[in-house]
Structure 1
Amino acid sequence: MLHPGTSSVSATDALHLEDEHAAHNYAPLPVVIASGDGAWVTDVDGNRYLDCLAAYSAVNFGHSNPRLVAAAKEQLDRITLTSRAFHHDLLGPFVTELAALAGKDLVLPMNTGAEAVETGIKVARAWGYRVKGVAAHAANIVVFHGNFHGRTTTIVGFSDDPDARDGFGPFTPGFRSVAYGDAGAVAAAIDENTVAVLVEPIQGEAGVIVPPDDFLPELRRICTESRVLLIADEVQSGLGRVGETFASDLWSVVPDVYLLGKALGGGIMPLSAVVADREVLGVIRPGEHGSTFGGNPLACAIGLEVIRMLATGEPQQRARELGERMRGRLDAFVGHGVTAVRGAGLWAGVDVDPVIGTGRELAERMLRRGILVKDTHGATIRFAPPIVVDPADLDWAMDEFEAALRERSA
């Protein structure tokens, strides 16, 4: 469907300028997006696409969400940044309502998901030394194979993805990696110096890997018995995506620390947070950690609206219902170009039969059909449309995916 062009820059010019002057740290699909509304985006030539990635869950509530845009515009006319050298009138309401949503005492706001993870690591180490009594510089944290927590040098040091890790050492010590889904391996890795277990309740970048149903409950039991913090990285999986406020809720597990990001900023501002009780997050003292932009007024205004939307439970219910609809369609493709489907709520990882093509080839076929998806690890397609997607549009996307599976690589 064509609409009047929305940009003075042609797709060819935009791609050329980006190729010449943007660092090549991504390999994006060849589409140049100029605007978005709900679950749809429009490119510079006026072509519309159904967004089934939602910026890796950062756009859970849709592009240009009216409530979030209104909150941002109102705040833009007031003040956008004070730094944490001073108080501002929205930080208190933001941290209070986010703490209540998570059932915790304290919130430490940052900007990106990786910053939230780095902050969580610092908090866990400080808690280990100041509360648990671990010897200085001896703290260790248990992590998992296949993890994705960001791309800072500390984080990639405990990644097993060669694209993220190779060529960026030396790495920060203090991490022990075990098999995802294996609670027994976690128990074996814990010693007297272990301060935390850092886990994605569902591994996103790895291909939407859902653990066995007893895994998170067992982690909770092991961490409690061993006096070790359970840290849930909910940056991609949290805030409505899986049909619950947090993915941990799927197993009725309450971690000691939530790491939040992406959707918290409504797809408008980078906004992340570490949320925990006072015994844990209270170990951080003035001057030990911070961010000039962390918890800025503009981000807090948007984040407050996100929290209030989630507090109604409506986004979570919609993600559950639409997720069941999407999963029913995807499961029917197993054996017909698809080898496996995993996921929860409105989030799915689909393994493509190599006879059909690579994940990238399937993403390119979907692009030609007006749908945006993203591949990962060569053979997996991820579906994560905004929660506001219309059911009929979701059905159409499934129809087009079925047709794309019938194609063959040239």
Structure 2
Amino acid sequence: MTSLTDRKNAAIAKGVGMTTQIYADRAENAEIWDKEGNRYIDFAAGIAVVNTGHRHPRVIAAVKAQLDRFTHTCHQVVPYENYVALAERLNGLLPGDFAKKTIFATTGAEAVENAVKIARHYTKRSAIVAFAGGFHGRTFMGMALTGKVQPYKAGFGPMMGDVWHLPFPIDLHGVSVADALAALDRLFKADLEPTRVAAIIVEPVQGEGGFYEAPAGFMAALRKVCDAHGIVLIADEVQTGFARTGRMFAMEHHGVAADITCMAKGLGGG
């Protein structure tokens, strides 16, 4: 008899990795039951997606209500009110005493791609500064911004150009906030004039990089640098957004408002 794993190996490209061989049958709140009836506590939450737990009653009710009305029209062709209402609500949740607007995309990587496009078009500049250990998606621009060769960049050839990486301040690795800011200053002096930088993109807590929180003062220092040079500050809150750190967005712990915020995962609740 062919096992489910055999079927998966025959049907799905091996580039889609699997952390476990547990095949989910059903889930409720923080628990998953597999096809054999074994019960597990789910600490992964779909990689920071089901922030309110599996099958939260309000999420289920909202999905069912929408299915009873329509599934898709393409907002650019036939718009609908709840698209507008969600944008209004998100604009109200984000920090910062300035007017905000929202666009919706399909994935976190697409949100990052569009953030870069917006920053480049707005500033008429091309360079993007990112950080070692950061993760911003598996598209080509996402890979370029990501500060890890393995497992994301290896074997895919040249990345998108004009992306510059700096050390992320992590005390455990011997990199202080002063070290990271000094590296940024050296970059501006040696290789990249700040007037050519469109954006600095940063995760307030690095996820794939090892769950390292930006130290106190670092986000505020980046905000100051961006303000001084007309650089757009992009907060990648794809993993940290929607109260995963105790505040709606992780940058709020630092008293900082980004110019552009990328969000996904917990936004959809699964």
Q: Mapping of 1:359-378 within 5 angstroms?
A: none
- In 2, Cα distance between equivalents of 1:189 and 1:253: 23
Alpha-carbon distance, 1:158 to partner: 3.6
Tell me which of 185, 191, 196 is aligned to 1:193.
196
Return closer, same or farther for 1:201/1:37 CA change in 2, 3 Å cut-off: same
Shift of 1:251: 0.9
Q: Say yes or no: does 1:44 pair with 2:35.
A: yes
Contact 2:136 2:145 survives alignment (8 Å): no
Letter in 1 for 2:255: S
Distance (whole Å) between structure 2 residues aligned to residue 196 and residue 157 of structure 1 = 14
For 2:167, the aligned partner's letter is A
Are residue 149 (structure 1) and residue 136 (structure 2) matched?
A: yes
**Deviations 1:330-383 (Å, cap 9, x if unpaired)?**
xxxxxxxxxxxxxxxxxxxxxxxxxxxxxxxxxxxxxxxxxxxxxxxxxxxxxx
SS at 2:235 equivalent: strand
Work out the CA distance in 1 between the residues paired with 2:55 and 2:186: 47
In 1, distance between residues paired with 2:34 and 2:150? 33
1:173 maps to which of 161, 170, 179? 161
Tell me by how many angstroms 1:20 deviates.
1.5
Matches for 1:343-354 after TM superposition, within 5 Å: none
| Structure with greater contact order relative to length (CA < 8 Å, sep ≥ 6) | 1
Q: How many Å separate the matches in 2 of 1:121 and 1:70?
A: 35
Name the structure 2 match of 1:390: none
Correspondence for 2:175: none
- Given that residues 187 and 222 in structure 1 are in contact (C-alpha distance below 8 angstroms), is that contact kept between their aligned partners in structure 2? no
Whether 1:251 aligns to 2:251 is: no
Match for residue 34 of structure 1 among 21, 25, 30: 25
Matched, 1:24 2:14: yes
TM-score norm. by structure 1 comes to 0.59
Find the counterpart in structure 2 of residue 100 from structure 1: 92
Aligned amino acid, residue 36 of structure 1: A
Aligned-partner SS, 2:128:
strand
Any runs of at least 4 consecutive aligned residues in structure 1 with deviations exceeding 6 A, and if so which? none
**1:264 has 2:264 as partner:** no
What amino acid is the match of 2:182?
G
Q: Runs of 5+ in structure 2 lacking a partner? A: 170-179, 189-193
Give the conservation status (yes or no) of the 8 Å contact 1:39–1:50: yes
2:181 maps to: 183
In the alignment, which residue of structure 1 is the partner of 2:53? 62
Which residue of 2 is the match for residue 88 of structure 1? 80
Give the secondary structure class of the aligned counterpart of 1:29: coil
Shift of 1:116: 0.5
Q: Which amino acid aligns with 2:7?
A: L
Please give the root-mean-square deviation of Cα atoms over the aligned residues, in Å.
1.5
Residue-pair matches, total: 249
How far apart are 1:34 and its partner, in Å?
1.0
* Alpha-carbon separation, structure 2, partners of 1:265 and 1:13: 32
Map 1:292-371 to 2 at 5 A.
none
Amino acid at match of 2:14: H
> 1:326 is matched with which residue?
none
Residues 141 and 197 in structure 1, CA contact (< 8 A), matched pair in contact too: yes
Quote how far apart the aligned CAs of 1:28 are.
2.4
Larger radius of gyration between Structure 1 and Structure 2? 1
Amino acid at match of 2:100: D
Distance in 2 (alpha carbons) for counterparts of 1:107 and 1:123: 12
Q: Which residue of 2 aligns with 1:301?
A: none
Deviation at 1:217, TM superposition (A): 1.0
In structure 1, give the amino acid aligned to 2:230.
Answer: R
- Return the match for 1:77 from 62, 68, 71: 68
Gaps of 5+ in 1: 1-9, 268-410
Letter in 2 for 1:119: N
Query: How far did 1:162 drift?
Result: 2.6
Distance 1:36 1:199 in 2: 33
Number of the residue aligned with 2:173: none
